[in-house]
Amino acid sequence: MKKQEVANDIARILEETYPEVPIPLDHTDSYTLLVAVLLSAQCTDKRVNQITPALFAMADNPYDMVTHDVDEIREIIKPCGLSPRKSKAIHQLSQILIDKHNGEVPASFESLELLPGVGHKTASVVMAQAFGVPAFPVDTHIHRLAYRWKLSTGKNVDKTEKDLKRLFPKEIWNKLHLQFIFFGRAYCPARGHNPFTCPICSKYGRAELFK
């Protein structure tokens, strides 16, 4: 079976399993989404959603955020990990949004990736989920699944993103990357995974390695 045929069938399985996929990170607008995605680096979405209510009660826009110093921000976001770096990035990017973008989150990959603490993956999530621009954010979980399902060689996340974009039509990227995430959590985790009961691995994954 050709890789494209496998990809098509995987997309079908994901769509049947998760016809509706909510955005995992709680937010109210593009700014709160940007901050939440930044906080999610090396932290679970569940933990981020536990922390952001207190942070956004203090400041849910860049103008309010810059009135608080970095230490105040860090104290709230400590449970997310990497708090010294993340708190500094949140404060700095908020000031940049005010100075260069009239307090608004820019709707371009280039401008987003120039913000402190915002890499390509974070920018892709914001572009997809806040602005509806086709993107395929690849984190370590999607990278792992793409390799496990033989959709990519797994050399690095950049290569995986290119491989997935070639295999799947642009119009489903934004939904598909979320379907990957939800499916991976429920059926195809990194640890304790049974490839023989996974609807995808049992057909197209590396189940033979576990025999």
Q: What is the DSSP string of 92-126?
A: HHHHHHHHHHTTS--SSHHHHHTSTT--HHHHHHH
163 is catalytic: no
Lowest mean pLDDT among 44-48, 166-170, 194-198: 194-198
What CATH architecture is 30-131? Orthogonal Bundle (1.10)
121 is catalytic: yes
pLDDT tens for residues 7-61? 999 999 999 999 999 999 999 999 999 999 999 998 999 999 999 999 999 999 9
Residue 208 pLDDT > 60, yes or no?
no
pLDDT tens for residues 105-157? 999 999 999 999 999 999 999 999 999 999 999 998 999 999 999 999 878 99
How many whole angstroms from its chain centre is CA 40?
8
CATH of 3-21+136-210, one of 3.40.390.30, 3.40.920.10, 3.30.460.10, 1.10.1670.10: 1.10.1670.10
Of 29, 71, 139, 150, which one is the catalytic site residue? 139
**Do 171 and 182 contact (CB within 8 A), yes or no?**
no
Q: CA geometry: angle at 5 spanning 180 and 17, to 5°?
A: 35
**Do 182 and 18 contact (CB within 8 A), yes or no?**
yes
The predicted pLDDT at position 204 comes to 82
Residue 211 pLDDT > 60, yes or no?
no
User: What is the C-alpha to C-alpha distance for residues 135 and 115, in angstroms, rounded to an integer?
Assistant: 18
The predicted pLDDT at position 121 comes to 94
Number of neighbours of residue 78 by Cβ within 10 angstroms: 14
Domain ranges of the chain: 3-21+136-210, 30-131
Of 46, 121, 150, 162, which one is the catalytic site residue? 121
